[in-house]
Structure 1
Amino acid sequence: MPSHHKERTAVPRPYVILSVATSIDGHIDDTSATRLLLSNADDFDRVDQVRADSDAILIGAGTMRADNPRLLVNSEERRAKRVAAGKSEFPLKVTVSASGDIDPNLKFWHHGGEKVAYTTDGGEETLRERLAGLADVVSTGQELNFGELLDDLGKRGVERLMVEGGGQVHTAFLSQGLADEIHMAIAPLVVGEADAPSFLNPAAYPGGSTRRMKLAEARTIGDVVLLRYLPKESSEA
C-alpha cells in the first residue's frame, strides 16, 4: 500500500563568506574612538561588489554599536542590476545579539530593505520591544545558535551570506565549521595595541593548529593584499 507520507526536504544553508580587513598584526580596529580605516578605496569598492552579490549581510551587535554602519550596497549601478535580476534592491540585513540590548536609533535599522535580528530566549522580549516593527526578531534558543540561524536564513531564500564581523561573530562561524570562504584584506599597517579587537578570538578550530586551509586566491589591490581561503578544504601542500 503506497504511503502518503511526504518526507521533508532539508533547505540548504547559505554559502557563508567571512569578510574582514586586518592590520599586519591581525587587528580589525585600534582602541581609539574613531574607526580605523584599513581598506583603501579600491578594496572598499570590491567589498561593495561582494555585498551586491550576496543575498544577506550579517554583523554582530558589537560591530553595530562600535561603527554604526548603514551596511548598504553603495553603487546605484549594482543595486539596479540586483533589481533587474529580480532581487531586492538591497540584501537582507542581519544581526545577532544574545542580550537583545540594541539601540533602535542606529543607522542599520533605518537604511536599506528588510532586516532580521537573531537573539536568545532571554533576549527575545527585550529585542521585540526595542525594535517594534523595525526587524523580524527570531530566537535561536537558550543560546545564540549559528546553525539554527543559517537554517532559518536558508528557509528565507538566502543562498549567499556575507559576514562582516566582528571578531566574536567571525570566531563563532569559523570555529563551528560554518564558514565556506574567507576574504581577508591585509592593510600595510601595524596596530600594536594589546586591547585592540582582532579578526579571531581564542577557540577550538576544526583541525587544530596544524591544519592548512586551501588558498584560493592572492592578489594586490593597491597597497592592500587580498587573501581568499576555503576553510572547509585543505591545502595539498
Structure 2
Amino acid sequence: MIVLASVALSADGYIDDSSPERLVLSHAADWQEVRRLRADCDAVLVGAETVRKDNPSLRTKDETLKAMRREHNRPEDPVKVTVSRSGNLDPRSRFFTQGSAEKIVIVGRNAPQANIGRLRRAATVVRAESETLSAAEIVEILERRGIGSLMIEGGSRILTLFLTEDRVDLLRIAVAPFFVGDPQAPRFVGEGRFPFGPARRMDVVHVERVGDMTVTLYALHARAADRAYLRRTVDLARMCPPSQTAYSVGALIVTPDRQLFTGYSRETAPDNHAEEEAILKAVRAGVPLKGSVIYSSMEPCSSRKSKPLSCSELIIRHEMARVVFATYEPDRFVDCCGERRLVEAGIEVTVLEELAAEALAVNRHILGGHNTR
C-alpha cells in the first residue's frame, strides 16, 4: 500500500488553535490540490477526533474529479476510514451521512458492543485484534479489504502514529504564512521516536508556491520517491506542444547530489525529446550526470530519424545509473527497444506500470484505441 499524508500547518507548526472554531489554515487553491490527491487514492483516513471536531464530509465534489474516477472504473468517492479505540462516534456526522463511498470504522479490541452496534447502521465496523491500534495493523486491515492507496488527512495523533511507525511513503506539508503561538493548540505531530532525523533526512521531491502557501512534497521511501518523480513526468508531458507525429513525454533527472533537471517533448525545439531536453539543461549548467537517475513518462527511444543519437544512447553516454519509466513506447511509429539497450549497457531499469494509464492518456490524441504492449 502507498500511504500519502497531507497536512496544512502554520509557520510555527500548529494545525489548529485552542478556540472552539476550526482554524482555517488553507485556501481554495490548496484545497483543490488536496482534493485532487484524495481523488487519486482508494481511501482517505482521518482520526476520530477529526471526525468529532471538524465534522468533514471527505467527498469528491468536483465533477472533473468524479469523471476521472469513473473513467478508471472507480466509485466517485474514495472509501472513508476512521480509527477509534472506543467507537464513540456520532453516526449522524457528515463522515457517515454524506457521500456514496463505503465508510469503515476500525475500533479497538475492547470497544463497547453498544458503540459498535450504533455505528454498524452507518458504516462497516472492523474490530482490531489489539487495543492500541498500531499503524501496521490498520494498514493490514485495509490491505485485506483491497485498499492499495491511502491518504491520511489528520489529525495529530494519526499522523504521529503513522510517522513514528515509518508507515508513510509520501508527506505533503502546506505552510500558511502566519503564526499561531498558542501552547494549548495541537501541533503537526506529538512526541515520539521518529525514523527521520539528522542522520536520515527525508527526500524533497517537489517544492511549489500555491497561492500564498509553500507546499513541499517529501518521499520517505525509495519506491514512493520513484512514484512521485514519475508522476511529475506525466504532469510535464501534459505541457508538450501538440503533435500528431510524436509522443508527448515528460522527463526528470535527479543527480547524485539531488539536483533536478526537467524536460518535456518539443520544449525548446520541434524535434527535441523529453529526455534530451532535461539532459541539455544539465549540460548547459555544467552538471555531470554520471550516476544520475532519469525518470520518463515513456520508455526512452532507441532510434530516431531526426537526430544521430537516441535518448537511450544519450543516457548510456552520460553514464547514468538508473532509468525509471511508466509505460513502454507503443509501436505506432517505431519498434522501440530502449529498455533492452539500457539493460545491455548495465543500466538498471524500473518500470512502474501503475502509472502507465496516465502516461498513455496524455497521448490519447495519437493512440485512440491503439493496442500497446
Q: Same fold (TM over 0.5)?
A: yes
Aligned mates of 1:88, 1:214 — CA distance in 2: 32
CA separation of 1:84/1:207 partners in 2, compared to 1, >3 Å: closer, same or farther?
Answer: closer
Q: Deviations over 1:90-114 (max 9, x none)?
A: 1000000011111111110001121
Aligned mates of 2:34, 2:182 — CA distance in 1: 26
Q: Which of 185, 191, 206 is matched with 1:196 structurally?
A: 185
- SS for the counterpart of 2:221 is strand
Unaligned runs of 5+ in 1: 1-13
Q: Which of 125, 150, 162 is matched with 2:113 structurally?
A: 125
Aligned mates of 1:118, 1:65 — CA distance in 2: 15
Aligned mates of 1:17, 1:70 — CA distance in 2: 19
Aligned mates of 1:198, 1:106 — CA distance in 2: 24
Q: Which amino acid aligns with 2:52?
A: R
Aligned mates of 1:130, 1:27 — CA distance in 2: 34
Pairing 1:21-40 to 2, within 5 Å after superposition: 21-40=8-27
The normalised TM-score by structure 1 is 0.89
Check the 8 A contact 1:124/1:138 in 2, yes or no: no
Check the 8 A contact 1:214/1:236 in 2, yes or no: no
Pairing 1:107-126 to 2, within 5 Å after superposition: 107-112=94-99, 113-123=101-111, 125-126=113-114
Higher relative contact order (CA 8 A, sep 6+): 1
Partner of 1:63: 50
Q: Deviations over 1:85-141 (max 9, x none)?
A: 210111000000011111111110001121111111111624322213211111222
Aligned mates of 2:191, 2:199 — CA distance in 1: 15
Q: Deviations over 1:136-166 (max 9, x none)?
A: 1112223213212211211222111000000
Partner of 1:214: 203
Question: Quick one: percent identity of the two aligned structures?
Answer: 38
2:35 is aligned with 1:48: yes
Q: Deviations over 1:19-56 (max 9, x none)?
A: 00000011001111111111121111001101110100
CA separation of 1:236/1:172 partners in 2, compared to 1, >3 Å: closer, same or farther?
Answer: farther
Unaligned runs of 5+ in 2: 226-255, 259-373
Check the 8 A contact 1:52/1:91 in 2, yes or no: yes
CA separation of 1:219/1:207 partners in 2, compared to 1, >3 Å: closer, same or farther?
Answer: closer
Partner of 1:11: none
- SS for the counterpart of 1:147 is helix
- SS for the counterpart of 1:174 is helix
Aligned mates of 2:86, 2:27 — CA distance in 1: 34
Q: Which amino acid aligns with 1:117?
A: V
Partner of 1:9: none
Aligned positions, number: 224
Q: Which of 92, 98, 103 is matched with 1:105 structurally?
A: 92
CA RMSD for the aligned pairs? 1.7
Q: Which amino acid aligns with 1:228?
A: L
Q: Which of 66, 74, 79 is matched with 1:79 structurally?
A: 66
Aligned mates of 2:170, 2:197 — CA distance in 1: 18
